[in-house]
């Protein structure tokens, strides 16, 4: 890390004790900022780094709700409104038992730069709760969402803060949240939430957007090497929304995805993952990927298996933070992996990232590679504001164009700052420059 930034980082650590995920995300960005401060000393003088690392607002609240048996539960809700220099705060809501302030802050911090890279007028924020929707009835999820939104509603709005979905928050949850917001506000404010169902203001391609965008980004990474996805062997961690639609788009573009996983284990199908079977298991049955082998007899299931040990050309971590370790990076390098692109947020540990880059593997961070989801959320906001509805084909073309533009600007910025081919530094610097310029223009606020 640049010497000027070491003391800044130390102060950030002291102010955010007990928040390891947030500190990790800040360190990853600050390690890229040395060349920027050397070229633009004004950012040091105005303490832009310090300001961008401090959320504009952090909201923590109690969420009481009642289950089907009448038992009362108390969960904790969060919304971190990190930076609104480019537009209203924009970022998902995550419902998962692991949610705490550190995780929400790391996600919100990443969202600042991700949203800036899209070129859309949206700031960065994130929220969620330690509520676990797994195993809960629709009525229980509805009651929780209504209680959660009763408090959250006073902090959001189409010109203030526009949440979306994330882990544990899909169309069902967004529907309940929007219904309660409409009830409280007495306004049909469609663009206050994105990821809605198509019957009440949702956008085509939003469900597929993060995974599809990841596929398009990988296609551009290969094109930069004068290659294509045709015939490439790929592995994808996870079996949720991002993973499923990344598999779909990679397959459409000619790649062959041979493995995916969930929290219990992994499946290896050397003939290529059968998407229809996987979708039925995860989206309809909501079951473990182990059931995949009941239909695809040639596939192998490994409980607790590590798909990063499989030989592949392309690896796409799409599950959760810090899932791809230094040891996993060693296995990928040893087996000839050429590209790692992140579909999840910060899924590669710092050690893993360093090893991949040092070995010459093309590594794309989530803030660039998985930006298709939030970009399409912004497109949903546009449609809501204009009372319009675009076709699937039109929206997907917009998505593909945005992902190509993000890819190209990451490479151009990396070249400009003396780190050619380094997508991580290119993404960090490009995103930071966009936000920092806006912050300077708005004055000391």
Residues forming beta bridges with residue 81, ordered by sequence position: 57, 125
Instruction: Assess contact for 423 and 396: CB atoms under 8 A.
Output: no
Tell me which of 27, 105, 126, 297 is the catalytic residue: 126
Helices (H), 119-240: 138-152, 171-185, 209-223
Q: Is 210 annotated as a binding residue?
A: yes
d(Cα 221, Cα 364) in Å, to the nearest integer? 9
- Reply yes or no on whether 126 is catalytic: yes
Q: Is 377 annotated as a binding residue?
A: yes
d(Cα 345, Cα 140) in Å, to the nearest integer? 28
Residues forming beta bridges with residue 268, ordered by sequence position: 259, 300
Burial code (b: 16+ CB inside 10 Å, e: under 16) for 155-185 equals bbbbeebbbbbbbbbbbebbbbbbebbbeee
Cβ-Cβ contacts under 8 Å for 236 (sequence gap 6 or more): 243, 246, 247, 250, 257, 259, 260, 273, 316, 318, 343
Residue 298 phi, psi dihedral angles, 5° rounding: -80, -15
Cβ-Cβ contacts under 8 Å for 243 (sequence gap 6 or more): 211, 236, 237, 260, 316, 318, 319, 343
Indicate the DSSP class of residue 253.
T
d(Cα 340, Cα 344) in Å, to the nearest integer? 12
- Cβ–Cβ contacts within 10 Å for residue 222, how many? 21
Instruction: Assess contact for 49 and 43: CB atoms under 8 A.
Output: yes
Instruction: Assess contact for 311 and 336: CB atoms under 8 A.
Output: yes
Angle between helices 241-252 and 209-223 (to 10 degrees): 40
Q: Is 44 annotated as a binding residue?
A: no
Q: Is 241 annotated as a binding residue?
A: yes
CA distance readout (Å), 415 to 1, 35, 422, 427 = 19, 12, 8, 12
Q: Is 165 annotated as a binding residue?
A: yes
Instruction: Please enumerate, by residue number, every residue annotated as part of a binding site for substrate.
Output: 90, 111, 114, 165, 377
Instruction: Please enumerate, by residue number, every residue annotated as part of a binding site for NAD(+).
Output: 210, 241
Instruction: Please enumerate, by residue number, every residue annotated as part of a binding site.
Output: 90, 111, 114, 165, 210, 241, 377
* Residues classed as catalytic: 126
């Amino acid at each position: 890390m640049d010497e000027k930034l070491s003391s800044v980082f130390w102060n950030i650590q002291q102010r955010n004790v007990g928040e390891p995920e947030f500190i990790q995300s800040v360190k990853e960005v600050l390690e890229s900022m040395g060349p920027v401060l050397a070229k633009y000393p004004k950012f040091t003088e105005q303490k832009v780094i310090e300001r961008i690392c401090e959320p504009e607002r952090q909201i923590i609240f109690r969420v009481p709700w009642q289950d089907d048996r009448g038992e009362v539960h108390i969960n904790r809700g969060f919304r971190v409104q990190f930076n609104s220099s480019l537009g209203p705060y924009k970022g998902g809501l995550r419902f998962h038992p692991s949610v705490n302030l550190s995780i929400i802050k790391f996600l919100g911090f990443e969202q600042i730069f991700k949203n800036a890279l899209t070129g859309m007028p949206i700031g960065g924020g994130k929220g969620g709760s330690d509520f676990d929707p797994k195993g809960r009835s629709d009525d229980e999820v509805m009651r929780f969402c209504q209680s959660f939104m009763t408090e959250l509603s006073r902090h959001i709005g189409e010109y203030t803060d526009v949440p979306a979905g994330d882990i544990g928050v899909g169309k069902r949850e967004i529907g309940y949240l929007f219904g309660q917001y409409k009830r409280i506000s007495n306004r049909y404010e469609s663009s206050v939430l994105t990821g809605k169902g198509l019957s009440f203001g949702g956008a085509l391609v939003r469900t597929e957007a993060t995974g599809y965008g990841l596929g398009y980004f990988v296609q551009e990474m290969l094109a930069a090497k004068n290659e294509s996805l045709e015939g490439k062997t790929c592995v994808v961690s996870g079996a949720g929304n991002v993973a499923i639609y990344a598999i779909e788009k990679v397959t459409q573009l000619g790649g062959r995805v041979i493995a995916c996983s969930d929290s219990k284990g992994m499946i290896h199908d050397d003939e290529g993952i059968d998407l229809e079977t996987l979708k039925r298991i995860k989206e309809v049955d909501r079951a473990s990927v182990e059931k995949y082998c009941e239909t695809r007899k040639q596939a192998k299931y490994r409980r607790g298996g590590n798909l990063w040990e499989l030989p592949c050309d392309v690896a796409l971590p799409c599950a959760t933070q810090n899932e791809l370790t230094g040891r996993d990076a060693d296995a990928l390098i040893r087996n000839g992996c050429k590209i790692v692109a992140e579909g999840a947020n910060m899924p590669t540990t710092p050690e893993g990232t360093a090893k991949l880059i040092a070995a010459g593997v093309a590594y794309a961070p989530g803030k660039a590679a998985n930006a298709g989801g939030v970009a399409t959320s912004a497109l949903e906001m546009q449609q809501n504001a204009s009372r319009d509805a675009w076709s699937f084909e039109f929206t997907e073309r917009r998505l593909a164009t945005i992902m190509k533009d993000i890819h190209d600007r990451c490479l151009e910025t990396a070249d400009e700052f003396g780190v050619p081919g380094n997508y991580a530094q290119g993404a960090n610097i490009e995103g930071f420059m966009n936000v920092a310029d806006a912050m300077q223009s708005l004055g000391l606020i």
